[in-house]
Amino acid sequence: MALSQSALSEILDAFRAGDGVDLIRDSVRVALQELIELEATERIGAAPYERTEDRVAERNGHRSRMLTTKAGDVELRIPKLRKGSFFPIILEPRRRIDQALYAVVMEAYVHGISTRSVDDLVEAMGGTGISKSEVSRICAALDETVGAFRTRRLDHVEFPYIYLDATYLHVRNKPGKGGQVVSMAVVVATGVTARGEREILGLDVGDSEDEVFWRGFLNSLKQRGLAGVKLVISDQHAGLVKALSRAFQGVAHQRCRVHFARNLLAHVPKGQVDYVAAAFRMIFAQAKPEDIHAAWDKTRDELAVRWPKIGPYMDDAKAEVLAFTGFPREHWRKIWSTNPLERVNKEIKRRSRVVGIFPNPAAVIRLVGAVLIDMHDEWIAGDRRYLSEGSMAKLYDTVDTDPVAAIECSDA
């Protein structure tokens, strides 16, 4: 690509300034800006101020976009169109989430599902003239990417640890203004490989208390090749627990200790919450499995004297809440709760808060899928393993599932 005379002049001015670092950064900026303008010209069918019969759109100013490069941060100017939208190809791989957010907002806009926040976003994104066909084109491209990620094979390695959790978003259950806004669960599955690395395994949208929904989600993971599972870490969603008994019978189940603690505290007066919470935490301060089990029994007896309902409640939950004790000591803090998924859920919430109400479940998959793909790529590219290779070797040498809560087959 030959740079235009104006672009060469900009680089020459930077060179005359005598700052070598700025010269490199400015050169990158000028080259990228030229590529953007060239692509915009091809899309519009005419250069700025050019009169031609091939023109299909008109420019309508620019919007700024900061791009991080190895030469430093460079500010680019993205052309806006009076009708339709334009996003440079050179930025697409780095801005997948932005594209998904744009698609969700515009889809809500063109279907008349607009709130004050959505209207403001549409205007800021320069999408007031966008058509339904243009939105459909953008959505189709994103759906292909997210769909490929959600259906990729999982048989390249074993996943001994699987985390399952749900977060809730507001979604319109029918197209158009006639639909009702309901709370729907976004369920996410992540896993730790036999090498100690993390991956996003899957996501779906549905009812977190529905066994059929969970069973379909879990079976889809197995059909994609998920194998080698030794422990499933999750909350106690009724539908999930029943589905696990069918999809992962014989596998140990770790009930999230954080969620259990919250439920436990609901059985005591508010004035005693701090006392009970501290007593419960002390159970997990022990260093040996047998000491943890002994501390559980002691705490259970002490609390049951004052609050009788706590006794049977802790008895029923003991095996699942203490399932982690059958696994390597080095893993305990990362497998005794679903806290490792907290950052995932927080990022989903942060991105979704911008939208507020999703126009349909497919829009949820589109945006959340884009968020998870970027997070998955970040994990894969990371230098550090989530669990060390040495500790993972202990998992295969010493794991003992006898004292833990193995998931049993259920005919229910």
Residues 325 and 196 in one domain: yes
Same domain, 74 and 183: no
The answer, as to whether pTM is greater than 0.75, is no
Q: Does residue 126 belong to any structural domain of this protein?
A: no
Q: pLDDT 10s per residue in the chain (412 long)?
A: 555 556 556 656 655 555 545 667 777 788 888 888 888 998 899 988 888 888 888 888 887 777 766 667 788 888 888 877 777 877 764 556 666 666 666 565 445 555 555 555 555 555 455 556 666 666 777 788 889 999 999 999 999 999 999 999 999 877 655 678 899 999 999 999 999 999 999 999 998 889 999 999 999 999 999 999 999 999 988 889 899 989 998 899 999 999 999 999 999 999 999 999 999 999 999 999 999 999 999 999 999 999 999 999 999 999 999 999 999 999 999 999 999 998 899 989 987 887 778 888 888 898 899 889 888 988 887 767 899 989 999 998 755 544 455 566 555 4
Domain presence at residue 145: no
Q: State whether 295 and 162 are in the same domain.
A: yes
**How many domains does the chain fold into?**
2
Q: State which of 80, 101, 135 marks the end of a domain.
A: 80
Residue 97 CB coordination number (10 Å):
19
Domain assignment of residue 28, yes or no: yes
Cα 396 to Cα 323: distance, rounded to the nearest angstrom: 16
The residue segments making up the domain with residue 261 are 156-398
For the chain, the distance separating the N- and C-terminal CA atoms, rounded to the nearest angstrom, is 66
